[in-house]
C-alpha cells in the first residue's frame, strides 16, 4: 500500500496565534542553541569518547540553567519528555504503596495529574480531591477541613491552572499538612517562565514543568525533586541519576536549558507586556453585553483570558475565529476534541450552558496590541450578527 505523505504547507498568511498555553513558538535563541546538536555528529551523553563528553557537558549546562531559573540545586532536576511524564513520575513513582494514608490533589488539575490519580485509585489508593470555589481558586476553608483529618502522604496542587490561568494558594495549603510526613508537589507547567518561582523560598518538595510552554521545544520537560523515587516510571538505564531511564533527549534538553535562561532574563519584560495585552483585551471584551471572564477576580497568569460570549458555543466561535485567521482554544487544548464542559468550569460551579461557550486566549511575546484589536473587532462583528432579540436578552 502506498501512503500519501501529507506535508503541512505554511503560507505567508499565518493565523494570529493566541494559544500559547497549548504550546509556544520557540525563541530564536533557543533554535540557535539547538542547531549544532541537530547538525553535528551524534553523541550519547553516556559514551566516554569526546563526542559523548561534549553531549554530557551540554546536558549538565542545561541542568544548571534550569536550576538558575528556579533557584534549586542542579542535582534536583530530572529531565523528562514533558509535563505529563513529570506528573506521572511524581505520582506513580513517589507514592508509598505500604502507606495507607491518602493522596490528595484537586478537582482543577490537568488530566496528566487526574488520570494517574484515577489509576492509583483503581490500584486501591485512597485519593481525595480538594474543591474549587467559583473564583477558580482552591476553596481554602474546605481544604483546611479535609486536610485536618486526611493526613495525606502526598499532596499535588496545580500552581496555575492552564484554562483559567488562576494561580493557586499553594503556600497556604502547604501550611495545612504535616510537612515532615507529606510530600508536596505542584504541577507548575503553566507557571514556570511566566511567574517568578523561587524554590529556595517556597515550601515545596517537587514541581513539574515543560519546555514548550516557555518558548522551548516540545517533548522535553523536568521534574524537580530532591528525593529518589520509590518506583521508576521508566527503567532500563541509569540516566538522570537513576531516576529516569533512557538516553537523554540532548537537543531538547539544550533547548529547555536555553529557554529557562531566557525566561529568567526576560521575566519582568514578558510579564508586563503580556499583562498589558490581556488587560486591554479584557477592557474591550467588557463592552460586549453578557460577556464573562472566568476567574477574573483571582490572581492569574499574565497572559491568559478564559471567557464566554452569550449564545456562541465555544467550538462554533473557535471555528469562526479560525476561518478569520485567529488560532485560539476552546478550553484545554489537551482535550479539545471533547465537547463536554470543561471539568475546571464545572468545579467552579459554572452552569453547563455558559461553560460550553468558554474560549481561551493565551497571549505570547509574538502578539501585539494590533492582534488584540483585530480579535476584538472580529468578536464584535460576530456578536453583531446575532439576531437582535438575542443581543437584547444578553444585554
Ligand X SMILES: Cc1ncc(COP(=O)(O)O)c(C=O)c1O
Q: Which residues are catalytic?
A: 334
Q: Which of 305, 302, 236 is nearest to 46 (CA)?
A: 236
Rounded Cα distance, 347 and 345, in Å: 5
210 binds ligand X (CB under 6 A): yes
Q: Which is nearer to ligand X, 83 or 341 (CB)?
A: 83
User: In the set 45, 93, 216, 221, which binds ligand X (CB under 6 A)?
Assistant: 221
User: By CB under 6 A, which span of 45-53, 117-125, 186-194, 374-382 interacts with ligand X?
Assistant: 186-194
**Site map 331..360 versus ligand X, x via CB under 6 A:** ---x--------------------------
248 binds ligand X (CB under 6 A): no
Residues numbered 93 to 112 that lie near ligand X (CB under 6 A) are: 110, 112
Residue 151: C-alpha distances to residues 87, 144, 207, 220 (Å):
21, 11, 21, 33
**Least distance (Å) between residue 303 CB and ligand X:** 13
Rounded Cα distance, 111 and 335, in Å: 9
168 binds ligand X (CB under 6 A): no
156 binds ligand X (CB under 6 A): no
**Site map 316..335 versus ligand X, x via CB under 6 A:** ------------------x-
Q: Which is nearer to ligand X, 76 or 187 (CB)?
A: 187
234 binds ligand X (CB under 6 A): no
88 binds ligand X (CB under 6 A): no
User: By CB under 6 A, which span of 97-105, 185-193, 269-277, 376-384 interacts with ligand X?
Assistant: 185-193
83 binds ligand X (CB under 6 A): yes
193 binds ligand X (CB under 6 A): no
DSSP 8-state assignment for residue 66 = H
Radius of gyration over every alpha carbon of the chain, rounded to an integer in angstroms: 22
DSSP H/E element including 127: strand 127-130
Neighbours of 220 (CB within 10 A): 26
**Least distance (Å) between residue 84 CB and ligand X:** 3
Rounded Cα distance, 243 and 88, in Å: 13
Torsion of CA 15, 20, 23, 25, to 10 degrees: 60
* DSSP notation for 119-161: HHHHTT--EEEEPBPTTSSB-HHHHHHHHHHH--SEEEEESB-
**Least distance (Å) between residue 336 CB and ligand X:** 11
Rounded Cα distance, 120 and 272, in Å: 40
187 binds ligand X (CB under 6 A): yes
84 binds ligand X (CB under 6 A): yes
Rounded Cα distance, 347 and 330, in Å: 17
190 binds ligand X (CB under 6 A): yes
Contact 227/94 with Cβ under 8 angstroms? yes
**Least distance (Å) between residue 378 CB and ligand X:** 25
**Least distance (Å) between residue 191 CB and ligand X:** 8
Binding residues with ligand X: total (CB under 6 A):
14
Contact 203/17 with Cβ under 8 angstroms? no
DSSP H/E element including 391: helix 388-394
Binding site for ligand X (CB under 6 A): 82-84, 87, 110, 112, 158, 162, 187, 189-190, 210, 221, 334
Amino acid at each position: 500500500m502506498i501512503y500519501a505523505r501529507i506535508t503541512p504547507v505554511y503560507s505567508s498568511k499565518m493565523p494570529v496565534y493566541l494559544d500559547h498555553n497549548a504550546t509556544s513558538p520557540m525563541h530564536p535563541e533557543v533554535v540557535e542553541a539547538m542547531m549544532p546538536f541537530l547538525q553535528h555528529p551524534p553523541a550519547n551523553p553516556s559514551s566516554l569518547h569526546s563526542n559523548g563528553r561534549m553531549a554530557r557537558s551540554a546536558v549538565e549546562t542545561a541542568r544548571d540553567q534550569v536550576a538558575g531559573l528556579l533557584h534549586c540545586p542542579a542535582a534536583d532536576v530530572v529531565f523528562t519528555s514533558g509535563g505529563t511524564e513529570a506528573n506521572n513520575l511524581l505520582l506513580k513513582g513517589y507514592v508509598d504503596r505500604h502507606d495507607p494514608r491518602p493522596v490528595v490533589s484537586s478537582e482543577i488539575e490537568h488530566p496528566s495529574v487526574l488520570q494517574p490519580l484515577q489509576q492509583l485509585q483503581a490500584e486501591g489508593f485512597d485519593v481525595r480531591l480538594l474543591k474549587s470555589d467559583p473564583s477558580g481558586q482552591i476553596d481554602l476553608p474546605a481544604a483546611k477541613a479535609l486536610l485536618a483529618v486526611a493526613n495525606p502522604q502526598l499532596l499535588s496542587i496545580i500552581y496555575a491552572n492552564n484554562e483559567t490561568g488562576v494561580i493557586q494558594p499553594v503556600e497556604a495549603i502547604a501550611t495545612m499538612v504535616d510537612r515532615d510526613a507529606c510530600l508536596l508537589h505542584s504541577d507548575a507547567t503553566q507557571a514556570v517562565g511566566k511567574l517568578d518561582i523561587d524554590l529556595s523560598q517556597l515550601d515545596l518538595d517537587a514541581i513539574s514543568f515543560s519546555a514548550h510552554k516557555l518558548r522551548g521545544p516540545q517533548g522535553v520537560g523536568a521534574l524537580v525533586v530532591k528525593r529518589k523515587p520509590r518506583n521508576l516510571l521508566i527503567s532500563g538505564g541509569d540516566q538522570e541519576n537513576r531516576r529516569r531511564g533512557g538516553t537523554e533527549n540532548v537537543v531538547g534538553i539544550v533547548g529547555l536549558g536555553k529557554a529557562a535562561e531566557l525566561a529568567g532574563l526576560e521575566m519582568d519584560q514578558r510579564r508586563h507586556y503580556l499583562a498589558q495585552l490581556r488587560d486591554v483585551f479584557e477592557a474591550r471584551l467588557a463592552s460586549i453585553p453578557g460577556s464573562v471572564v472566568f476567574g477574573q477576580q483571582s490572581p492569574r497568569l499574565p497572559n491568559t483570558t478564559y471567557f464566554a460570549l452569550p449564545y456562541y458555543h465555544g467550538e462554533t466561535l473557535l471555528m469562526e475565529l479560525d476561518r478569520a485567521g485567529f488560532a485560539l482554544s476552546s478550553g484545554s487544548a489537551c482535550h479539545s476534541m471533547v465537547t463536554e464542559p470543561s471539568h475546571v468550569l464545572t468545579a467552579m460551579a459554572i452552569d453547563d450552558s455558559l461553560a460550553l461557550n468558554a474560549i481561551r486566549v493565551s497571549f505570547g511575546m509574538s502578539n501585539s496590541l494590533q492582534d488584540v484589536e483585530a480579535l476584538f473587532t472580529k468578536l464584535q462583528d460576530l456578536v453583531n450578527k446575532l439576531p437582535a432579540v438575542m443581543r437584547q436578552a444578553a444585554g
